[in-house]
């Protein structure tokens, strides 16, 4: 008697069936987007009705770096909006550190000489 009840209670697929039904009621399509920095974003889009074609954007903003990501892994869209600013900043920084380094060196040498002179004069 007890054994019969146990078998009835554990029907295979009772649990998983419910989950499957849920997944099928909202069909989704996962799309991979590739950004110029090599990140892969995989948002999923609800497909909706059969008559309603899913609107999958050609570009997707990479959540990791903010660059636009495209569908083509070989040719990710160029980050036109962000790159000029960043590149310019990096360029200026590089140039400045170079010039400043030279300037600081000159200044230090000049100061050193001036100090030595003043010291020798004072002596
Ligand atoms: Zn990215």
Summarize pLDDT for 39-54 with one digit per residue, the tens: 999 999 887 666 666 6
**Does the annotation place 62 within a ligand binding site?**
yes
Q: Residue 48 annotated as binding?
A: no
pLDDT for position 50? 65
Q: Which residues of the chain form beta strands (DSSP E)?
A: 28-30, 33-35, 40-41, 44-46, 59-61, 68-70
Predicted confidence at residue 7, as pLDDT, reads: 53
Predicted local confidence at residue 77, as pLDDT: 92
The answer to whether domain 26-70 has CATH 1.10.260.40 is no
CA of 33 to the centre of ligand 1 (A): 9
Domain ranges of the chain: 26-70, 88-122
pLDDT digits (tens, 9 = 90+) for 10-41: 555 544 554 555 545 667 889 999 999 999 99
- Residues 84-114: pLDDT tens digits? 555 666 766 777 777 778 888 898 889 989 8
35 assigned to a ligand binding site: yes
Q: Is the pLDDT of residue 65 over 60?
A: yes
Helix (H, G, I), strand (E, B) or coil at 68: strand
pTM for the full predicted model: 0.43
Measured in Å, residue 87 CA sits from the centre of ligand 1 at 16
């Amino acid at each position: 008697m007890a054994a019969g009840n146990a078998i009835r209670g554990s029907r295979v697929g009772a649990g998983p069936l419910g989950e499957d039904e849920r997944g099928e009621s909202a069909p989704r399509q996962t799309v991979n987007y590739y950004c110029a920095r090599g990140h892969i974003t995989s948002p999923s889009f609800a497909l909706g009705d059969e008559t309603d074609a899913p609107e999958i954007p050609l570009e997707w903003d990479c959540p990791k770096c903010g660059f636009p990501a495209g569908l083509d892994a070989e040719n990710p869209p160029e980050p036109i909006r962000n790159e000029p600013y960043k590149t310019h900043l990096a360029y200026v920084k590089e140039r400045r550190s170079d010039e400043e380094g030279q300037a600081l060196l000159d200044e230090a040498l000049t100061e050193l000489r001036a100090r030595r002179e003043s010291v020798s004069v004072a002596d």
